[in-house]
């Protein structure tokens, strides 16, 4: 799978609204064929920082960046940001999360 993590520094006046501002993009991406997940989290130490974790089956990520909703996000979302988002993008085996054995829950 293609695994992507990106950090978005949102301007302070838009930070609380970021989930709503990105909702159309998020919902459209989650509906794409080949999308495994597309999940936002807010940094617990910095309320202006959002982290996006997303995954696609193999080449589906290529179709994602060609989609109409991606182009719309490219046009609209930078106006709400303080800086260019930072990203890591790599291919890994599998199509789901693995268990973190070092913190296994035993009951």
pLDDT at 24: 97
pLDDT confidence of residue 39: 98
pTM of the model: 0.91
pLDDT digits (tens, 9 = 90+) for 54-86: 999 987 667 888 899 999 999 999 999 999 999
Quote the pLDDT of residue 59. 75
Distances (CA, A) of 6 to 27, 91, 106: 17, 15, 32
Strand ranges, E, within 48-100: 49-56, 86-91
Average pLDDT over residues 9-19: 98
All structural domains of the chain with their residue ranges:
2-94
Q: Identify the architecture of domain 2-94 in CATH.
A: 2-Layer Sandwich (3.30)
Average pLDDT, rounded, for the chain? 95
pLDDT of residue 60: 67
Check: CB of residue 33 under 8 Å from CB of residue 60.
Answer: yes
């Amino acid at each position: 799978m293609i695994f992507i993590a990106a950090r978005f520094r949102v301007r302070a006046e838009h930070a609380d609204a970021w989930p709503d501002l990105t909702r159309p993009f998020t919902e459209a991406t989650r509906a794409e064929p080949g999308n495994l997940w597309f999940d936002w989290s807010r940094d617990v130490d910095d309320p202006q920082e959002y982290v996006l974790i997303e995954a696609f089956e193999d080449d589906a990520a290529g179709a994602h960046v060609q989609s109409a909703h991606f182009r719309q996000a490219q046009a609209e979302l930078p106006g709400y940001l303080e800086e260019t988002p930072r990203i890591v993008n790599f291919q890994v085996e599998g199509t789901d999360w693995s268990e973190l054995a070092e913190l296994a829950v035993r009951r």
